Structure 1
């Protein structure tokens, strides 16, 4: 149990990528064990619970929660865990393995400002990919990648298509490149949508194409 005397650290917790945002009683019990009775838990729109735990117990809490199937992420200027749809047509048809692998690769990466990625398994876009920083839409057996969406504020806007008809490995590579150019060129606490506007979509495409070409030559 938390003593309340130690400095606290924020952790983001969810049930991972599955058919909807669900938690089991066993997971809730494990979660409650490390929280005081009057502790407030923030439920975010990104399918995460934000909890506060004492700094000295972060690893213990993380290990215990992961044992019951919960996923634990850092809070701050990192790539958040992937927001997804409910995979209503089935894991394989809507690309759950691809979503899980994408989340494994990017969640927790350092970036200039908190970045929100989203994925949906069909053009219905239930995972709201077009109003998040990075959005992926699966169309049949290929993937479209959108960037720069923004859900809030007077300058709210949908993301713009960066590249369409990607295979899963091409998707992973392109997202890695997008995050890298943001890390290299983004200003401190500059949101990704503002970065895309300032840096320019054409420049982003050129960077990714050039990096992909260099990597391809290196592999040869």
Structure 2
């Protein structure tokens, strides 16, 4: 295989909106680069993994972005924000806040893939309590949870880290959390393992919670 034949993997989704959805234009754009004998992986954090030729990378990204697809790196990065269906509407359930949070953190390199989730009400349909970082909108404030784990014998719900945050406080706190994790975690140490080892109270002190 020569350099022109090398492939790269892209993580793609339809952006932060009313749940995990794709429209016809987006599906056509994806289909253009999927071979008949290839498969697309659908991840639990609402992303599609697609392989394309490295030489086509810039063109593919431009085409995908033109139809509203969002593209993220694959590997040890903060994943795009998992969201609920925003059943009561974008403004009431804080979709602008979810979009901004995703813009700020998705794609940041971390020691181990980190899954954030957001839901617009206490029903928690976006599963924020079983992801690494979870946000629940309550009335006009935002509650922040950390350390959830969805699978395995040691699965657990997340711990409440802060509550009643304003949007700016939420963004600042999450960004500080990621800095503490990046600066203090061991190589390939999952976020929940880092919390166990480093200590919840020590994380609070480091973040200034």
TM class by shorter chain equals over 0.9
Is 1:34 the counterpart of 2:33? The answer is yes
Aligned ranges 1:13-24 → 2 under 5 Å? 13-24=12-23
The offset of 1:4, in angstroms, is 11
Q: Indicate the larger mover: 190-199 or 36-45.
A: 36-45
Aligned to 1:213: none
Distance 2:50 2:3 in 1: 13
Equivalent pair of 1:81/1:117 in contact (CA under 8 Å): yes
Aligned to 1:201: 200
Distance 2:54 2:149 in 1: 33
The offset of 1:35, in angstroms, is 1.9
Q: Indicate the larger mover: 174-183 or 52-61.
A: 52-61
The SS at the match of 2:5 is coil
TM-score by length of 1: 0.92
Equivalent pair of 2:4/2:54 in contact (CA under 8 Å): no
Aligned ranges 1:90-129 → 2 under 5 Å? 90-129=89-128
RMSD value, Cα: 1.4
Unaligned 5+ segments in structure 2 are: none
The offset of 1:56, in angstroms, is 2.0
Equivalent pair of 1:148/1:160 in contact (CA under 8 Å): yes
The offset of 1:5, in angstroms, is 6.5
Question: Structure 1 runs of 4+ off > 6 angstroms?
Answer: none
- Count of aligned pairs between the two proteins: 208
TM-score by length of 2: 0.96
Distance 1:151 1:208 in 2: 25
The SS at the match of 1:98 is helix
Unaligned 5+ segments in structure 1 are: 211-220
Aligned ranges 1:127-206 → 2 under 5 Å? 127-206=126-205
